[in-house]
Copies of this chain bind each other. A is one copy, B any other.
């Protein structure tokens, strides 16, 4: 269509029409306190404006020459010591007006956030209190209003956590190396809610998947019968890992 061609030629997008961005990374780091059956998320108190004094996900702005992941690992290395922290990308939030600094800037720069997700073993993680800003493992049920749109990012993180628990062996990154089926069930209940499955179905399904190895040891806690201790067998799982499966 010549009309369309002409329109195209007459109406080029000029560089000034394009939005300018700073890019941040924000981390949703979950842990599970298996002894207290609490799902926890890592929060830091903001030491500066905007939202000074508010709790937020640990994040930072990406620097020149730095990859998104490197920025995410950089800010976490200042907040937490833990082995095998493996970040996976969660979601990108970049709509106009999500950051008050945008309005304050005379140049209309927008702030986009790429969020990352990780799950760490509670007993292995050590928070770094730098003496300047607050830091805490917050029980998910008590998370306050967070800075920016971080409550929304956290909601995405919770959804991802539930999906991963349903479709992947992520539970074994969080449990101690040896655990009872009751511990495993409790972890699922903590994340998915009390009524996700009854214990007997859960037990049958998990054992049938074939990668839980009975260690031969037993534990007795409280008044019940001694319970068998299991461990996750990564080799048995290896053969299955490309097959779609559900864990509950």
Enumerate chain A interface residues (CB-CB to B < 8 A).
1, 4-5, 8, 13, 17-23, 61-68, 89, 91-92, 94-96, 108, 112, 114, 130-132, 166-167, 244-248
Contacts and interface: CB of A to CB of B under 8 A. Distances in A.
Contact of A95 (B5, B68, B91, B244): B68
A68 B114 CA distance: 12
A245 B167 CA distance: 9
Nearest to A65: B96
A246 B248 contact: no
Contact of A94 (B1, B13, B62, B65): B62
9 contacts: A1-B130, A4-B130, A17-B63, A18-B62, A20-B22, A21-B62, A62-B94, A67-B94, A89-B92
A66 B167 contact: no
A248 to B, nearest CB: 6
B8 A132 contact: yes
A131 B1 contact: yes
B130 A166 contact: no
A13, A20, A94, A130, most chain B CB atoms within 10 A: A94
Contacts of A4: 130-131
A19 B64 contact: yes
A51 B188 CA distance: 49
A114 to B, nearest CB: 5
Given A91-B89, A132-B8, A112 B65 contact: no
A4, A22, A62, A89, most chain B CB atoms within 10 A: A62
Contacts of A247: 244
B130 A61 contact: no
A32 to B, nearest CB: 19
Contact of A114 (B22, B63, B94, B246): B94
A21 B18 contact: no
Given A65-B96, A67-B95, A89-B91, A130 B8 contact: yes
Nearest to A16: B64
Contacts of A245: 246
B8 A166 contact: no
Contact of A21 (B21, B89, B166): B21
